[in-house]
Amino acid sequence: MSYYSGMKPYDLILLDADGTLFDFDAAAEAAFRGTAAEFSLAPHAAGGGAASVDELFARYRVINHGIWAELERGEIDKESLKAERFRRLFAEFGIGADPAAFSARFLVLLSEGAQVLPGALDFVRALHAAGKHLSIVTNGISAVQRGRFARSPFGGLISDLFISEELGAEKPAPAFFAEAFRRLGRSESEKAGAVVVGDSWSADILGAVGFGLDAVWFNPAGKAAPSAIPPAVSDARGYQAVLDRVLAGDRGLPED
């Protein structure tokens, strides 16, 4: 019995986007700063204190994180979320700018932010060279994610872009992955050939496990898992470790 017996080859790799391939934090910060400059938000907004753009962005991140959690709990819808986060921010700082107009411009700039993480392109090229079918599975706003993907170097390597706003469900809901499988023309009996790679324990890893898929936790910072690591999940400290894991089954195939 070979060392690799029991390892199964994967033919479909479902890749999370933000924090796994894309540097979303960098994209969001650039878009926020750009929009703030256009709207003359800082350093001294009309009627408000002398908040710097650094302070505004730091507070925006907290508000944004909270409002996406509200979305996951079904307390707000995606369309309302877009401007509401800026309405809350402006209210805190006494800023008179129009949240809807600010949001619209922010999303345009954000859709142009295609900063990728160091090593991500080589990682995707290696998967593509191994003959894998690559799909992105991401939560987020369709126009933003499609714009960023179009400006990224991943075109021609990654076949599909599955975005929660288009699929009608958010990771970690099983309905998200079920709809992606449906669009791929894969039956749910073909789950064994697919693996999810992502940096979010709650969205990617628990989402994959909840739908019955294997997963690799992209965990370059070496964080402790928030809960016991299920047998179907591997903890990978970087892209090479992900490749070692998802390509491992290939080496176990008989050569004849």
Residue nearest to Mg ion (CB): 19
DSSP class of 218: E
Give me the residues that bind Mg ion (CB under 5 A), please.
16, 18-19, 199-200
| Structural tokens at position 211 | 């739908």
Residue closer to Mg ion (CB basis): 22 or 90:
22
Shortest spacing between CB 255 and Mg ion, in angstroms: 37
Residue closer to Mg ion (CB basis): 19 or 249:
19
Residue closer to Mg ion (CB basis): 25 or 190:
25
Residue closer to Mg ion (CB basis): 19 or 48:
19
Q: CB of 129 within 8 A of CB of 9?
A: no
Side by side, the strands of the sheet bearing 214-218 are 160-163, 133-138, 12-15, 194-198, 214-218, 233-236
The neighbour count for residue 163, using CB atoms within 10 Å, is 21
Shortest spacing between CB 159 and Mg ion, in angstroms: 19
Shortest spacing between CB 61 and Mg ion, in angstroms: 15
Shortest spacing between CB 23 and Mg ion, in angstroms: 11
- According to DSSP, the residues that pair with 185 across neighbouring strands are none
Residue closer to Mg ion (CB basis): 194 or 197:
197
Residue closer to Mg ion (CB basis): 29 or 199:
199
| Rounded-to-integer distance, Cα 207 and Cα 254, Å | 32
Shortest spacing between CB 200 and Mg ion, in angstroms: 5
Shortest spacing between CB 94 and Mg ion, in angstroms: 34
Residue closer to Mg ion (CB basis): 34 or 220:
220
| Rounded-to-integer distance, Cα 21 and Cα 137, Å | 11
CB within 8 Å of 153: residues ≥ 6 apart? 116, 121
Q: Which among 225, 15, 229 has a CA at the least distance from the CA of 117?
A: 15
| Structural tokens at position 57 | 């962005």
Q: Which among 227, 224, 226, 230 has a CA at the least distance from the CA of 211?
A: 230
**Nearest-5° angle of CA 138, CA 112, CA 240?**
50
Shortest spacing between CB 217 and Mg ion, in angstroms: 11
